[in-house]
Amino acid sequence: MPELYDTVISFKQLSSDFLKILDQEETFDVIIHVGDEIASESFKAHSIILRTRSEYFRAALSAAWKKKENGFFVIDLRGMSIPHAIFGHVLFYIYGAYLKIEKLGVTEKLQLLKAADILMMDAFVDYLEADLIKTEKSWVNEKSSEVLYVALQISRCKELVSLCNDAILRQPKTFISSKEFLFMPHDYVVSLVERDILGLDEIDIFAAVIMWGINNTPGISLADDFSTWTADNITTLQSNVIHLIQQIRFFQMPPDDFMKKVGPLTRVFAPELYDQVVEYHANTQFQFVYDVQPLRLNSTIIKENEEPALISYWINHPETDCDLPENLPFETFDKIPFDFHLIFRCPGNELAQTAWRDLCYNQGPTMTIIRTKNQNEDEAVFGGYKSISWSTENHDTHIGGNGFIFGYLWQQRKLLLPWMLRVNNHLDADMFLGDGVEVFIDFRHGEKLLAHANGFEDLEETIEELEVFRVVRKTTDEG
């Protein structure tokens, strides 16, 4: 059998020979019109190559579709969202099975991705998706809403969608503020607002749902004065957002914010819901028609329910030193016996002790969670639980409370290598978790995090983001 090197050389030669066929005008038998009404261009090619390389062209050149003009089959792609400026690259790939992809910008690659999907060229779609993930990852993370808008239109781009989702969950406010969000498919928006963990205030989620609904309701726009809407407009809008509205945690909104910012619109969409929320805050024994969903976890670091479930297990079982129990007792998010109220969030490069103290002092038990990156660009999560408040009084009396510190990796949607170390008395220091001797996590130094545990190598990591939550035990739980 030939060696791999010989096979590669043979493939390159074959590719080069096929590309030479593009220069043989005397053998062309197909004309392809590409572009739109404003700008278009015609390309010539060979029907036998097109049939072999694209399911779309195979169908277009079938006996039922054949139209010859002056000896050429004619295929009209105008108006099919394939820019004429990039179709030459499509033909190059059809003949040569590769692209000079390093010379293409990301926008061109996305245009090619859409064209490959339209032309039913699965191998080309896979080729472009793999390149975007491998060579354009930072750009995809930065422009995740733009990439996601394209990737969601292509069923094969599951890995690209997953990469975009990870980026969006890190910066959800940027995503819902983007113009692309307004055009996202209904099912995707539903899947987003269904999440129990989403790094947004509930009022921001509600506002995003309403804006998306208005943008996708014929006859009205975001520029309208609401008072000009007709009853039919409102009915259509209601039908567009009903499944989304059902996922909003109205009962968990601060009462004043609900009354001032949300109430007027809920009275339009669901007047019974408005009355129920008002009554809920006045009388928790009231019989509710609507389900009172649990408080959403407002985090851009925590990704999946497994994480708060594990942390809750550690809090709920102070006698255990088990890093990861065989079976977590909280099978669903609503069974977790604690609510985690976000009180502080900050990127690592903006951490300041004064701002942290203003928001984190006198909050009762807290959970701190920190996303870091090391010199190898590996990401990890560190954190800790403190059973009493950070406060001036506790600092002066040298009382730090008990709890634990922890860490884990998160790779390919899996929680890896979780560890937890108990702390009998946290050192009474701001932005510091642990006893200061045997185990500790120190985040008092701007972007730098120091982690120490006796018997293990000390770690120094760069803080990407930090969140602090007030931990409140639910009035009733099953854990």
For 166-196, the pLDDT digits (tens) are: 999 999 999 999 999 999 999 999 999 999 9
For 98-143, the pLDDT digits (tens) are: 999 989 999 999 999 999 999 999 999 999 999 999 999 889 989 9
Q: What is the pLDDT of residue 339?
A: 96
Total Cβ atoms within 10 A of residue 309: 19
Q: What is the pLDDT of residue 6?
A: 66
| Domains contained in the chain, CATH given | 4-166 (3.30.710.10), 171-282 (1.25.40), 306-473 (no CATH)
Total Cβ atoms within 10 A of residue 122: 13
The four Cα atoms 440, 352, 347, 307 give a dihedral, to 10 degrees, of 30
Per the DSSP assignment, residues forming a β-bridge with 371 are: 381, 465
Q: What is the pLDDT of residue 18?
A: 85
Q: What is the pLDDT of residue 369?
A: 97
pTM over 0.85: yes
Segments of the chain scoring below 70 in pLDDT: 1-7, 63-67, 266-269, 284-290, 411-414, 476-479
Q: What is the pLDDT of residue 406?
A: 95
Q: What is the sign of the dihedral through the CA atoms of 193, 199, 204 and 207?
A: negative
DSSP annotation of 294:
P
Q: What is the pLDDT of residue 67?
A: 67
Q: What is the pLDDT of residue 477?
A: 43
Q: What is the pLDDT of residue 279?
A: 81
Q: Which helix (H) or strand (E) holds 49?
A: helix 47-53
